[in-house]
């Protein structure tokens, strides 16, 4: 293997590692040889258990298991993405080969678990997945919401007055199982037996049962298999009505070669496990994690709008499927290590989810995390979990019910136990306690009636908000007020960089507006924005001017930065601001000064009275500041300033469209990326279906072709097809819905991409941009 062996580990170890070789001939390091996923430490804290691997040996061979173990985010995602080089055919293979006797027991039941979806190769897999996808789309899942809420409430009702509960035994095991069975279309009367047998499947597939246990498990799995067959037969007699398995039976009538008998029987069994244990474990992990982080728990209790993103962060931090398998179809390179064809691969997603190369401060639980939804806990690509949105719905509702009715719940002292296996992780019990006298519903029965909208098929980060206190309001120019916003709860403010903005919620109507941060990023005490009263305002700036007073609490999202100030690569910087566009530019100028860059700051306005921060800027920047004041006759001459293209210079500008258009014209002969701009308003208008054309996109990673009708955006069409895409502004301003384009011509309608980026044609904003007339796009998603 290419990765060097850590000295401390190789020296003094009694095992001759040079003698232990991986199938590619490389010696196996001591730690690689010692990796044991059946050891308690692995399940107690998988990312910690593999920290050394992420840091020193990201891909290693473990001779005991006969698997290559992959631990970094990018490598795992690349394997999920590459179905040409990696097959999922071993995903449901028994990781511990069954004993002769256990095989006989299974055979006596006619056990013939075979390909379902998760372990099927292309092209058979995708043909089947496409036919069976519809019941999983966010739209189709909506009708499950009332049942999930009803069950969650009823189960909490049963123990709310007790003051203590084992949440796994008393709620989190049964409720997801009942929902899974409903989702599949199983009758109530068949549920009790299925409940009894389903757990055996996990041990059978991913565990290391001893001789004796193997027989017991084989017996239960055999029973489970027969029962699944009987239930399927019953469904076949009347396949009408709701339920994914019934839907599958109906699809079989039309496409018997795609939806086969063997598939249906195997899926009847595997589907229960896929939908049940995963979600039960994920909820138990999430509740435990949040109670171990009381600040995060308190925040959720106070502001349930944080729940959707908290769910993603909990799945990242402590997911319920921690590892998944593939087989290499050819010799293939992973992080510089050549895995020979036939290599079996264990991707430890729990480790990838804690990879600091992808997640900043990865070991910190941060329910506000911007990219929490990038986690690998649902897999990625063609096989990505089809049930992810049902799981999200359940997790969101369970957390909402528990945080609203039992905000005072705490973890009881206990040791957490896990079922020994490579892949499924959740505590066997979760003991919590509280004082029933303090139950909020005893004081205020209205608590029971409240509920929070479930967010599936949309960006969870759009819902992430924090409450800040208005610390100061100051008029900084005619019609411009500056707000200083400080933490309301003692929690540290998020860090930000010049060019970043926050979204401010204006009033109770859900109206949000974006404002650039204009203070000093080093000021940990407050965020600072300056807001111009827009005469055409329908509630944004007018609301702030009329209502924001010191002491008020405001809801804020972000900061996010789509107008980054690059600190490297340019020696000279020209900063141009028009009117209120000074806000991001002022922060950039401060940074340029700190870095000792060669910069000039041009600031134009109607009159001095309308221009914010003139004195502060003059004091800080001296003669680097050039004021262009129309009523003083000192108008800017950008044509002259930018006449000579200079490869060592970058121009950053923010202001009205007129100014930015002028700068674009002046910079026409400059290097493509020299001019970076931020617009005040969205350029694109509302989608006008009468003037749009429908188009198709091929989604390479997901293996789907999605039609985008004239009356839908690409973003909407992707989400309706169960493909996650983050988003924020929804109008081409912020850059968060960027998708990679592999081929096809894009009709760009955003204001985020630079001219050079548009010409390169390898990315687009899904919320507004479309395919050029009659075109088809291929996306890497
Ligand atoms: C596949 C995780 C809930 C149905 C998968 C895969 C993972 C996963 C890791 C394999 C992905 C890959 O190979 O790229 C989870 C987790 C869940 C969850 C962590 C809960 C938190 C559900 C639910 C259902 C479901 C509730 C059904 C209602 C499926 C199906 C597949 C799958 C059908 C196979 C998809 C394919 O191969 O095309 N899931 N899952 N899952 N999951 Fe889930
Ligand atoms: Fe902001 Fe698309 S969501 S650009």
Cα–Cα distance measured from residue 217 to residue 209, given in angstroms and rounded to the nearest whole number: 8
DSSP E strand stretches across 120-211: 164-166
Cα–Cα distance measured from residue 14 to residue 32, given in angstroms and rounded to the nearest whole number: 15
Cβ of residue 739 lying under 6 Å from some atom of ligand 2: no
The pLDDT tens digits of the residues spanning 688-739 come to 888 889 999 999 999 999 999 999 999 999 999 999 888 777 778 777 789 9
Mutation to probe ligand 2, out of 731, 746, 753 (largest number of atoms < 8 A from CB): 731
Cβ of residue 725 lying under 6 Å from some atom of ligand 2: no
Cβ of residue 170 lying under 6 Å from some atom of ligand 2: no
Please give the structure tokens belonging to residue 329: 């179809």
Query: pLDDT value at position 510?
Result: 65
Residues 6+ apart with CB under 8 A from 150: none
Q: Are 588 and 565 in contact (CB under 8 A)?
A: yes
Q: Name the CA radius of gyration of the chain, rounded.
A: 29
List the Cα angle 686/689/692 in 5-degree steps.
95
Q: Are 194 and 272 in contact (CB under 8 A)?
A: yes
The pLDDT tens digits of the residues spanning 156-173 come to 999 999 999 999 999 999
The pLDDT tens digits of the residues spanning 740-781 come to 999 999 999 887 787 778 889 999 999 999 999 878 999 999
Q: Output the CA 81–ligand 1 centroid distance in Å.
A: 16
Q: Give the other-Cβ count within 10 Å of 630's Cβ.
A: 13
The pLDDT tens digits of the residues spanning 579-637 come to 999 999 999 999 999 999 999 999 999 999 999 999 999 999 999 999 999 999 998 99
Cβ-defined contacts of 329-336 (< 8 Å, 24+):
329/84, 329/85, 329/86, 329/87, 330/85, 332/82, 332/85, 332/86, 334/59, 334/68, 334/70, 334/75, 334/78, 334/79, 335/58, 335/59, 335/70, 335/72, 335/75, 336/2, 336/3, 336/59
Cβ of residue 275 lying under 6 Å from some atom of ligand 2: no
The pLDDT tens digits of the residues spanning 246-264 come to 999 999 999 999 999 999 9
Residue nearest to atom 4 of ligand 2 (CA): 732
Half-sphere exposure of 432 (CA within 13 A, CB side): 28
Q: Which atom of ligand 1 is nearest to the CA of 281?
A: 21
> Using N-to-C axis directions, what is the helix angle for 174-184 and 261-292, rounded to 10°?
150
Q: Output the CA 311–ligand 1 centroid distance in Å.
A: 16
Q: What percent of the chain has pLDDT over 70?
A: 95
Q: Output the CA 737–ligand 2 centroid distance in Å.
A: 5
Phi, psi of 534 (to 5 degrees): -90, 125
Burial code (b: 16+ CB inside 10 Å, e: under 16) for 19-43 equals: ebebbeebbbbbbbbebebeeeebb
Mutation to probe ligand 2, out of 714, 716, 728, 757 (largest number of atoms < 8 A from CB): 728
Half-sphere exposure of 118 (CA within 13 A, CB side): 21
Please give the structure tokens belonging to residue 567: 């600190």
Q: What average pLDDT does range 281-304 have in this prediction?
A: 95
Q: Are 284 and 426 in contact (CB under 8 A)?
A: yes
Overall size of the chain counted in residues: 781
By DSSP bridging, strand 67-70 and strand 344-347 are: parallel
Query: pLDDT value at position 683?
Result: 46
* Ligand 1 shell residues, CB under 6 Å: 80, 88, 117-118, 129, 183, 274-275, 278-279, 282, 319-321, 324, 377-381, 383-387, 390-391
By DSSP bridging, strand 466-477 and strand 553-560 are: antiparallel
Q: Which atom of ligand 2 is nearest to the CA of 726?
A: 3
Mutation to probe ligand 1, out of 378, 426, 460, 721 (largest number of atoms < 8 A from CB): 378
Higher-confidence residue of 18 and 511: namely 511
Nearest listed ligand to the Cα of residue 281: 1
- Whether the pTM exceeds 0.90: the reply is no
Could you report the predicted ipTM of this complex, rounded to two decimals? 0.97
* Of 73, 69, 166, nearest in space to 357 by CA: 73
């Amino acid at each position: 293997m290419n990765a060097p062996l850590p000295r401390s580990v190789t020296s003094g170890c009694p095992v001759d590692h040079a003698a232990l070789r991986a199938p590619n001939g490389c010696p196996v390091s001591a730690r690689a040889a010692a990796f044991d996923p059946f050891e308690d430490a692995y399940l107690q804290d998988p990312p910690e258990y593999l920290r050394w691997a992420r840091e020193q040996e990201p891909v290693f061979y473990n001779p005991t298991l006969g698997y290559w173990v992959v631990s970094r985010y990018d490598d795992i995602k690349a394997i999920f993405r590459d179905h040409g080089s990696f097959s999922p055919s071993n995903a449901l293979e028994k990781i511990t080969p069954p004993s002769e006797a256990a095989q006989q027991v299974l055979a006596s039941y006619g056990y013939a678990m075979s390909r379902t979806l998760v372990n099927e190769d292309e092209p058979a897999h995708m043909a089947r997945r496409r036919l069976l996808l519809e019941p999983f789309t966010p739209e189709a899942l909506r009708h499950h919401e009332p049942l999930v809420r009803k069950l969650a409430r009823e189960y909490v009702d049963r123990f709310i007055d007790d003051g203590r509960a084992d949440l796994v035994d008393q709620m989190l095991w049964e409720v997801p199982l009942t929902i899974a069975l409903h989702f599949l279309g199983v009758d109530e009367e068949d549920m009790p037996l299925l409940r009894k047998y389903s757990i055996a499947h996990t041990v059978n597939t991913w565990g290391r049962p001893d001789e004796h246990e193997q027989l017991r498990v084989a017996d239960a799995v055999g029973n489970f298999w027969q029962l699944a067959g009987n239930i399927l037969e019953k469904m076949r007699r009347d396949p009408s009505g709701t339920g994914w398995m019934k839907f599958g039976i109906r699809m079989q009538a039309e496409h018997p070669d795609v939806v086969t008998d063997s598939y249906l029987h195997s899926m009847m069994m595997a589907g229960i496990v896929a939908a049940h244990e995963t979600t039960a474990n994920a909820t138990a992990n999430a509740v435990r994690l949040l109670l171990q982080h009381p600040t995060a728990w308190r925040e959720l209790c106070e502001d349930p709008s944080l729940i959707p993103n908290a769910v993603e962060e909990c799945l990242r931090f402590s997911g319920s499927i921690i590892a998944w398998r593939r087989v290499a179809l050819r010799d293939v390179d992973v992080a510089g290590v050549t895995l020979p064809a036939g290599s079996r691969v264990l991707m430890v997603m729990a480790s990838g989810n804690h990879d600091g190369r992808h997640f900043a401060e990865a070991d910190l639980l941060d329910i506000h995390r911007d990219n929490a939804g990038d986690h690998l806990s649902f897999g990625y690509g063609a096989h990505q979990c089809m049930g992810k949105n049902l799981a999200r719905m359940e997790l969101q509702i369970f957390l909402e019910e528990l945080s609203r009715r039992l905000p005072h719940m705490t973890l009881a002292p206990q040791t957490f136990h896990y079922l020994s296996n490579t892949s499924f992780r959740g505590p066997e019990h979760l003991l919590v306690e509280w004082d029933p006298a303090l139950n909020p519903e005893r004081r205020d029965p209205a608590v029971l009636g409240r509920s929070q909208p479930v967010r599936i098929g949309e960006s969870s980060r759009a819902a992430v908000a924090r409450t800040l206190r208005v610390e100061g309001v100051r008029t900084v120019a005619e019609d411009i007020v500056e707000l200083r916003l400080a933490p309301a709860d003692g929690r540290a403010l998020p860090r930000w960089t010049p060019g970043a903005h926050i979204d401010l919620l204006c009033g109770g109507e859900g109206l949000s507006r974006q404002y650039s941060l204009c203070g000093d990023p080093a000021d940990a005490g407050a965020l600072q924005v300056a807001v111009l009263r827009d005469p055409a305002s329908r509630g944004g700036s007018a609301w702030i001017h009329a209502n924001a007073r010191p002491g008020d609490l405001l809801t804020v999202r972000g900061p996010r930065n789509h107008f980054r100030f690059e600190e490297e690569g340019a020696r000279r910087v020209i900063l141009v601001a028009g009117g209120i566009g000074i806000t991001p530019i002022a922060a950039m100028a401060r940074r340029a000064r700190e870095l000792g860059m060669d910069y000039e700051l041009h600031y134009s306005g109607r009159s001095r009275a309308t221009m914010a921060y003139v004195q502060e800027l003059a004091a800080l920047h001296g003669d680097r500041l050039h004021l262009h004041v129309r009523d003083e006759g000192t108008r800017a001459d950008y044509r002259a300033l930018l006449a000579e293209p200079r490869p060592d210079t970058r121009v950053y500008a923010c202001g009205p469209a007129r100014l930015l258009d002028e700068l674009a014209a002046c910079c026409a002969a400059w290097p493509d990326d020299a001019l970076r701009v931020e617009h005040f308003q969205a350029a694109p208008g509302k989608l006008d279906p009468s003037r749009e054309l429908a188009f198709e996109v091929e989604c390479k990673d997901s293996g789907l072709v999605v039609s985008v009708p004239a009356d839908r955006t690409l973003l909407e069409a992707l989400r309706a097809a169960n493909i996650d895409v983050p988003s924020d502004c929804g109008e081409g301003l912020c850059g968060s819905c960027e998708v990679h384009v592999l081929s096809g011509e894009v009709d760009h309608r955003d204001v985020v991409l630079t001219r050079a980026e548009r010409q390169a044609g390898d990315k687009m904003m899904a919320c507004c941009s479309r395919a050029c007339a009659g075109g088809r796009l291929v996306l890497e998603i």
